[in-house]
A and B are shown apart, each in its own frame.
Chain A
Amino acid sequence: MIALPPIGFVGLSGALLAVGIFGILTRRNFVLLLISIEVAMNAAILDFVYFAAYAPGTANGLSGQSIAVVLVGFAATEVAVGLAIVLALYRVKGTINVAEATDLKL
C-alpha cells in the first residue's frame, strides 16, 4: 500500500487549474480554448480521485470515483459540442479565431 501527502495533489491540481485559466484568458484559437478548459477540468477530476482515497471502501470514497467517471463523460461531451461549434464558426466566418466571433455584440 502506498501513501502520498495531500499537498502534492492539491498543488498539482492548483497548478493545472492555473494553467487552464491562463489558457482560457489568453488564447484566441477555439481549439486551444477547448484544450485549456480540458486542462482545468482534469484538475478537478484529479482532486475527486485523490480525495476518494480519504474514505476508502465506504460509499463516500466510491462516490468520489463515481463523480470522476461522470465528469470524464461530461468533458467528452463538451469537446464534441465544442468541435461542432468550431465547424459552425469556420463555416460562417472562415476562421476559428474567437476574437472575430463578435456578431452578438451590441
Chain B
Amino acid sequence: MNLPELAFVALAATAVVTAVGALLVRELVHTIMWIAVFFVDLAAIYFLLEAPFLGVLQLGVYAGAVTVLLLLGIMVTRKRIFSREAATGIGPAALALALLAFVFVVTAVGEFPNAAQPIHSYDPAALSQNLFGANGAWLLLLGLVMLVSVAGAIYLVREGRE
C-alpha cells in the first residue's frame, strides 16, 4: 500500500468514526466538536483528490460557517449549554435501512472499472470558466435559492411573530 492509499484509509476511517461519534454522543456541544473534525477531515480528502478549491471551500463554509451556525443554534435554545440529551436508542428499522443504503451504494462499484484511477490536478481558472460558462445556470439557481432562503429565514425569525 503506497502513501496516498494509506492516507486515504486513515482519513476515511476518521470520517466514519467522527460522523458516528457525532450522532452517538449525548452532549450536543461535543457533537459539534466531532462534526467539525469530520468537516476538516473531508477537506483533507478533497486536497488528496487534487481539488484544492473545494478543500478550501469545505474548510471555510462547513468547518467555519456551518459549525458556528450550529453552535449558535444550540447556544440560544438551551439554558445550560453543556446539558445532556435524553438517550434515543438505536432503532433496528433505522439501522436496517441505513445498511440497505450502504449496500445499495457499494454495489454500484461493480459498474466502474476496478483499477485505481489516476487523480489529475486541474487548473482553478478552468474550473471558474466552467462554473460561470457551461454550468452558469446552476450558479444562478444557487443565487436565487440563497436569496429566497434569506428572505424565508428573516420571515421565520422576525420580531412579534408567534
Where the two chains meet, the residues of A that have a C-beta atom closer than 8 Å to any C-beta of B are 1-8, 10-23, 25-29, 31-32, 34-36, 38-39, 42, 45-46, 49-50, 52-54, 56-57, 59, 61-63, 65-70, 72-81, 83-88, 90-92, 96
Chain A to chain B contacts (Cβ below 8 Å), 12 pairs: A2-B119, A4-B49, A26-B89, A39-B19, A66-B130, A66-B138, A70-B142, A74-B145, A84-B152, A84-B154, A87-B76, A87-B157
Query: Chain A's interface: helix, strand, loop or mixed, by majority?
Result: helix
B145 and A77 contacting across the interface, CB-CB below 8 Å? yes
Q: How far is the CA of A3 from the CA of B157 in the complex (A)?
A: 48
Residues on A with beta carbons closer than 8 Å to the beta carbon of B39: 42
How long is the Cα–Cα vector from A15 to B66 in the complex, in angstroms?
22
A48 to chain B, nearest CB (A): 9
Contacts of B34-89 to chain A: CB distance below 8 A: 35, 38-39, 42, 45-46, 48-51, 53-54, 57-58, 61-62, 65-66, 69-70, 72-74, 76-77, 85, 88-89
By a beta-carbon cutoff of 8 Å, the part of chain B in contact with chain A is 2, 4-5, 8-9, 12, 15-16, 19-20, 22-23, 28, 31, 35, 38-39, 42, 45-46, 48-51, 53-54, 57-58, 61-62, 65-66, 69-70, 72-74, 76-77, 85, 88-91, 93-95, 97-99, 101-106, 108-109, 112-120, 122, 126-127, 130-131, 134-135, 138-139, 141-142, 145-146, 149-150, 152-154, 156-157, 161-162
Write out the residue numbers on chain B whose beta carbons fall within 8 Å of the beta carbon of A2.
2, 4, 48, 50, 118-119
Known A-B contacts A10-B109, A73-B146; A83 and B73 likewise in contact (beta carbons under 8 Å)? yes
Interchain CA distance A27-B20 in the complex, whole Å: 12
**CA–CA, A3 to B95, complex, Å?**
33
Residues in A neighbouring B99, C-beta threshold 8 A: 18
Contacts of B65 in A (CB 8 A): 76
Contact between B118 and A3, CB atoms less than 8 A apart = yes
Contact status A28-B19, CB under 8 Å:
no
A59 to B122, CA, bound (A): 11
A79–B61 Cα distance when bound, in Å, is: 11
* Contact across chains for A6 and B135 when beta carbons are under 8 A apart: no
Closest to B123 in A: A57
